[in-house]
Copies of this chain bind each other. A is one copy, B any other.
Amino acid sequence: MNQKLKANFRKVEPYVPGEQPNLPDMIKLNTNENPYPPSPMVEEVLRQFAPDMLRLYPDPASGMLVDAIAERYGVGNNQVYTGVGSDDVLAIAFLTFFNSGKPILFPDITYSFYDVWAELFQIPYERPLLDENFNLRLEDYTGPNGGVVIANPNAPTGVKQDMDFLRQVIEANPDVVVIIDEAYVDFSGASALPLIKEYDNVVIVQTFSKSRSMAGMRIGYAMAQPELIKAMNDVRYSFNSYPMTRLSVALGVAALQDEDYFQETSAKIIETREKTKRELHRLGFTFEDSMTNFIFATHNRVPAQVIFDQLREKHIFVRHFDAPRIENYLRISIGTNEEMKQFLEAVEEIVGAYQG
């Protein structure tokens, strides 16, 4: 290829495709997906949806979905923004709010796309170190900055900061936006959502990908005071009219209408997680108290890479990050009870056989 032509291509880090195993007998505990199907109401809408509607562009405002989210969470429909998964919502929030020229702040160990979006939009950033228990240190987030992003509970650590900590960060930063990324909050107890009533500088981001079993439909949303939501909508509308499919909207609404199913499956996952924690402790693992649908654990004797590789041979897939400070950890998504039983049996065998 003409090298002058190529010289104008955008330079990016070469892509390393994530493992997408697709084996009939596999146990997939590597991407924090929900082991349970979406609500039966989702199937009902899928079966009844009039295909003729697909010829029409979607509502740019995704009004039906916005209304359903607003109703579910008891906020105004001018306090809800929807996007193509929380990745899209977070990227738009970065683009909308982080324009001060000062560095935004998020911890060294957190969701892997924050630095990527900052670089994409030329937003400077700093990454204060988590403490030795994977907690954020308040003093790192109180100096001058261009905004703060806190995944809470954090990924891949599973650790949750309490409401008091969040309040202190928000109050220390009245002139910048604090984004609380609550992708995993439904497995952790209380959301920080009530804070949007008190503070005009906080944005709560959530997703249908985990607790609502709909990673495949790409639905994320943000909740905040109306002026913040309007700013995000203005930015998005300015360059993209129709981001969400008609089926994402219709199926998203259906999922929200089945609160019982949502509560039930979330409770099952939490129960399985707690049981898995006890077993992992018994097998010699240590970990902070996970408040998510995964456990981020290190073994007291067997290297993470060894366990990862040997699980893989047994067609059990977990996640291993080859990154500073966490290279000896595994992130284990919570599957069904049966899947976790098989996983734990496999781990027991691997750990028992390891000579080191």
Contacts and interface: CB of A to CB of B under 8 A. Distances in A.
Nearest to A219: B245
A54 B248 CA distance: 11
Interface in A167-216: 174-177, 200-201, 209, 213-216
A240 B54 contact: no
A244 interface: yes
A15 B57 contact: no
Contacts of A99: 8-10
A238 B43 CA distance: 33
Contact of A57 (B42, B120, B215): B215
A180 to B, nearest CB: 16
Interface stretch (A135-143, A226-234, A298-306, A313-321): A226-234
Contacts of A213: 54-55
A51 B56 contact: no
Interface in A229-257: 231, 233-235, 237-248, 251
B87 A241 contact: yes
Contacts of A46: 46-47, 49, 51
A117 interface: yes
Interface residues of A, number: 89
Interface string A96-123: 1111100000000000010011001000
A216 B37 CA distance: 24
A218 B47 contact: no
Please indicate which of the listed interface residues A8, A99, A227, A231 has the most CB atoms of chain B within 10 Å of its own CB: A8
9 contacts: A5-B200, A8-B177, A15-B233, A17-B237, A36-B55, A54-B213, A55-B213, A58-B218, A85-B242
Given A4-B175, A9-B97, 12 more contacts: A2-B175, A5-B176, A8-B98, A9-B231, A10-B97, A14-B234, A15-B238, A31-B57, A57-B216, A87-B241, A116-B238, A217-B247
